Amino acid sequence: MKIHQIRNATLVITYNNTRFLIDPWLMPKESMPGFDSAVHPEVRQPRCELPISVEEIVRVDAVILTHWHPDHIDEIALEALRKDIPFFVQNEADSQIITQHGFTDVRILTENGTDFLGIRLFKTGTQHGERSIIKPICESIGMPYDAMGVVFSSSGEKTLYVAGDTIWCPEVQTALNSFHPEVIVINACGASVASGDRLIMNLTDVQALSSCVPDACIIASHMDTVSHLTVTRADIRALNLSNVLVPDDNEIIER
């Protein structure tokens, strides 16, 4: 497999000779304001430009959207992608939104698995921040709380787990126990709401995951781009965890 870190949570994953675009957030640098309900609302985002062209990024076989949030998909992506591309989402609500944007092959992933070109894709559970704290905040501002992770399985590849927007939580532990992934992509910039409560993994979460699966290759994504980050690439590298890689934008990791 090849995992191409584009920017933020946007990845192009080549798995069993199939190219998947994950969470396409493709707008230019500083196109949108920071989130009022989060830390650093005065910082515009994305904090950096795309490292390659939109045209190159969307040259893929399928799209996976882990959840409908404005730092995971945007109008530029929705316009640039061909409308008949297989488009995988987490639930009926996200399916309806993508369909309303003119896409004709929208598929909902499930925990039981979905077959696609010799690959089986499994939806996994998340906590997009501690549920008891963050879900009410999301509901108060009209933003959906739920997100998903995805496990990729194929006889010709190592098992890959893209954990999505989640903290270290029982749902992640369940995915690890169920699938025993050899490669794990985590979103790890410690993005936080105004109270300081995290929405995705921070340094403590990364250390916990690293200790739990010492033989897995862990790749830290969703770094150095959103306004509400509290953890940087340098912070994770300073942990000196032997099983954690921190790719730069436009870096490709092969496993």
The reply to whether 27 falls in a domain is: yes
Q: Is residue 116, in this structure, part of any structural domain at all? A: yes
Q: The tokens of 198 are what? A: 């995290």
Residue 255 lies in a domain: no
Residue 158 lies in a domain: yes
Q: What is the pLDDT along the chain (255 residues), one digit of tens a residue?
A: 999 999 999 999 999 999 999 999 999 999 999 999 999 999 999 999 999 999 999 999 999 999 999 999 999 999 999 999 999 999 999 999 999 999 999 999 999 999 999 999 999 999 999 999 999 999 999 999 999 999 999 998 999 999 999 999 999 999 999 999 999 999 999 999 999 999 999 999 999 999 999 999 999 999 999 999 999 999 999 999 999 999 999 999 999
> What is the per-residue pLDDT for 29?
98
pLDDT score at 212: 98
| Count of structural domains, the chain | 1
* C-alpha–C-alpha distance, residues 50 and 7, integer Å: 6
Domain-located, residue 252: no
Confidence at residue 206, expressed as pLDDT on a 0 to 100 scale? 98
Q: What is the pLDDT of residue 107?
A: 98
Is residue 117, in this structure, part of any structural domain at all?
Answer: yes
- Encoding tokens for residue 78? 């929705």
Distances (CA, A) of 235 to 10, 169, 206, 214, 220: 21, 21, 11, 20, 11
- Give me the domain span that covers residue 55: 2-243
Distance CA 184, CA 172 (A): 11
**Residue 200 host element (H or E):** none
Task: Report the CATH number at residue 215.
Answer: 3.60.15.10
Strand order in the sheet with 106-108: 106-108, 87-89, 62-64, 18-22, 10-15, 2-7, 252-254
Asked if the structure places residue 175 within a domain, the reply is: yes
172 in a domain, yes or no? yes
Identify whether the C-beta of residue 20 lies closer than 8 Å to the C-beta of residue 238.
no
pLDDT of residue 169: 98
